[in-house]
């Protein structure tokens, strides 16, 4: 299905380029207090660790074409930790994950995993041998220890290519709650991310479990107030397998 390829790339970019955070409240969320010390280490990984998610994509009729039928499809998506590699040749080593889903080229995610936080460094969509990574000018905080309801993560703004405009984004911590998914129940930090690019509005809710990683995501995109796609990811399996080789290091642009 060709749609999943474009959705995978836009979802990764939305997650990586979130900026300008604010406080947002939602009723009915059970807030669980937790000292930051309980979140450390924020994520401990070994090469070969993997997370497999059940993904569901829903697209209303008429979105992809005037006569197009509604889409309701499911597939698996797996994130595997490949180890520490140079981001590009000659650069310091960073943590590298590979994300694989049907009908989409693999994506490499480059991050710093520190004791108390995870920072985004960039990504690489492996379309072909000439693919080159997107490199962020400086590390972007994704999650950190001790987050509580009402907290936010302040990040730099991102310019919209070719327009000179700045795309508004927000990231608010809704609270702490137990998140139940097929893989089990995980104490999690619930984060709400929101972005607007022209007529497209995106909302992404992430449940991050300290020590376990992302256990659930819900993504919704709107065009002029109407839903154009819904996507949900739920952790189905978390485990470890042996890696046969180290990932290749891309050349810088």
pTM metric for this prediction: 0.82
The structural domains of the chain, with segments of one domain joined by +, span 3-240
- Using alpha carbons, select from 187, 207, 215, 154 the residue that is nearest to residue 33: 187
Share of the chain above pLDDT 90, in %: 57
- 169 versus 214: which is more confidently predicted? 214
- Using alpha carbons, select from 241, 196, 189 the residue that is nearest to residue 214: 189
- Report how far apart, in Å, the C-alpha atoms of 98 and of each of 7, 101, 121, 134, 142 are: 16, 10, 14, 15, 17
Give dist(CA 236, CA 81) in Å, integer.
17
The pairing of strands 184-197 and 117-125 is: unpaired
pLDDT, one tens digit per residue, over 146-183 is 999 999 986 656 666 666 666 667 889 999 999 999 99
Give dist(CA 35, CA 47) in Å, integer.
29
Q: Name the residue with tokens 């050349």.
A: 251
pLDDT, one tens digit per residue, over 103-118 is 999 999 999 999 999 9
Q: How high is the pLDDT of residue 102? A: 94
Contact 232, 56 (CB under 8 A): yes
Give the chain's mean pLDDT.
Answer: 83
Q: How high is the pLDDT of residue 18? A: 36
Share of the chain above pLDDT 70, in %: 77
Q: How much is the average pLDDT of 18-31?
A: 39
pLDDT, one tens digit per residue, over 55-113 is 999 999 999 888 899 999 999 999 999 999 887 777 789 999 999 999 999 999 999 99
Q: Name the residue with tokens 């000018």.
A: 137
Give 128's contacts (C-beta < 8 A, 6+ positions apart).
none
Q: For the domain made up of 3-240, give the CATH fold.
A: YmcC-like fold (2.40.360)
């Amino acid at each position: 299905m060709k749609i999943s390829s474009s959705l995978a790339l836009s979802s990764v970019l939305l997650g990586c380029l979130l900026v300008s955070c604010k406080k947002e409240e939602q009723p009915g969320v059970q807030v669980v207090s937790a000292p930051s010390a309980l979140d450390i280490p924020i994520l401990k990984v070994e090469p070969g660790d993997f997370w497999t998610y059940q993904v569901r994509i829903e697209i209303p009729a008429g979105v992809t074409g005037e006569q197009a039928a509604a889409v309701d499809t499911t597939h698996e998506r797996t994130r595997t930790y490949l180890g520490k590699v140079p981001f590009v040749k000659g650069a310091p080593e960073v943590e590298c994950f590979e994300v694989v889903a049907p009908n989409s080229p693999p994506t490499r995610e480059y991050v710093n995993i520190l004791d108390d936080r995870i920072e985004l460094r960039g990504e690489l969509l492996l379309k072909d041998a000439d693919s080159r990574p997107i490199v962020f000018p400086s590390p972007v905080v994704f999650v950190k220890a001790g987050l509580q309801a009402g907290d936010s993560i302040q990040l730099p703004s991102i310019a919209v290519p070719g327009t000179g405009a700045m795309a508004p984004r927000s990231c608010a911590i809704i609270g702490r709650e137990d998140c139940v998914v097929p893989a089990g129940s995980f104490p999690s930090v619930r984060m709400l991310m929101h972005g607007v690019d022209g007529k497209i509005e995106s909302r992404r809710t992430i449940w991050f479990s300290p020590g376990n990683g992302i256990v659930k995501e819900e993504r919704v995109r709107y065009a002029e107030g109407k839903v154009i796609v819904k996507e949900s990811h739920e952790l189905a399996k978390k485990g470890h397998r042996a890696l046969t080789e180290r990932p290749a290091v891309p050349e810088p642009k």
